Every structure is written in C-alpha cells, then in structure tokens.
Amino acid sequence: MSQKYLIRIAELERLLSEQAEALRQKDQQLSLVEETEAFLRSALARAEEKIEEDEREIEHLRAQIEKLRRMLFGTRSEKLRREVEQAEALLKQREQDSDRYSGREDDPQVPRQLRQSRHRRPLPEHLPREINCHERCNSDPHPTPEIRSRG
C-alpha cells in the first residue's frame, strides 16, 4: 500500500511540475504580449506625432503659397511663379502623404461617407436654426439714394 501512495505522490508531483511549466510558458507569452502592446502604443504615438507635424507643415505651406501669390499679384517675376509652383507641388505631396498616414486616402472599397474629410461637416439637422431678420429685410435690398442737385 505504501508503494501505491508513493506512485500516486510521484504522479501528482509530475502533474504539478507540468502545470508549473505551463504557467511559466503562459507568463512568458503574457510578457511578450505586454511588450508588443507597449511597442505598438509607442509606434502609434510616433505616427500620430508625425501626422500632426505633417498637418502643421501643410498649413505652413498653404500660408507660404498664399503669401507668394500675394507677392506675385504685385509683380510678374518668373522666380516667384516658380516658387509658387514648387510650393504647391510640395503641398500636394505632403497632403497625399498625410492622407495616406491618417486614413483619408480615397479607397474605392470604403464607402464615401466613411472616409474622413479634410473639411468640416455641416451641423446636424436636428439642431435648432434661428433666422434673424432686421427691419430693412423686407424693403428693397438695393435702395437708390436720393439725388439732390446743387444749385
């Protein structure tokens, strides 16, 4: 009978060591998952920073293009015209890169309403609208001034 107990104890010890090994493997897998999650979170944060940086650069390029256009309006310099064209090309490239990173890129498989837009969406229809009408609203919108003769 003692031999039977010793065999049972040895079997239980073997099962216990197998369970301990399985737990160690699960712990390793869990730590690997946690490391992967931390890496992905940091990669996501870097990607979001890159997108924000690209958006700032796009806005800067737009402002620069507008400034160059205003300068071009006053003068007909070929150099300014080339700078405007180069800035517009750079802006277009940055916008495409930004769209690709942020998911706004036109994907024919994604329905149009699910794509992100660079523009502000209209206000929802359920919001109340208020129309302010002033006194002159009902009169002629372009009244002619009275002409007085000098004499």
pLDDT tens for 89-136 read 888 888 888 777 776 655 555 554 555 555 677 778 888 877 777 666
**What single letter denotes the amino acid at residue 5?**
Y
Q: Which residues contact 55 (CB under 8 A, 6 or more apart)?
A: 98
Predicted TM-score (pTM) above 0.75: no
Q: Is residue 120 part of a domain?
A: no
Helix axes of 2-74 and 78-102: crossing angle, nearest 10 degrees: 160
Residue 133 lies in a domain: no
Residue at 18 is within a domain: yes
Q: Quote the mean pLDDT of the chain.
A: 79
| Residue with token string 């890159």 | 50
In a domain, 27, yes or no: yes
User: Can you give the residue range of the structural domain that contains 47?
Assistant: 2-105
List the structure tokens of 5. 């107990």
Rounded (to 5) percent helix, strand, coil in the chain: 70, 0, 30
Q: Is residue 29 assigned to a domain?
A: yes
Separation in Å, CA 118 to CA 106, 125, 131: 12, 21, 28
Predicted confidence band of residue 144 (pLDDT cuts 50, 70, 90) = low
Total number of domains in the chain: 1
For the record, the structure tokens of 100 come out as: 């690709």
- 8 A C-beta contact, residue 104 and residue 118: yes
In a domain, 115, yes or no: no
Indicate whether 74 belongs to any domain: yes
Separation between Cα atoms, residue 102 and residue 53, nearest integer Å: 12
The two structure tokens encoding residue 20: 């301990």
Q: What pLDDT is stored for residue 98 in this prediction?
A: 78
CA of 144: how far to CAs of 28, 137, 138, 139, 147, in Å?
86, 15, 15, 12, 9
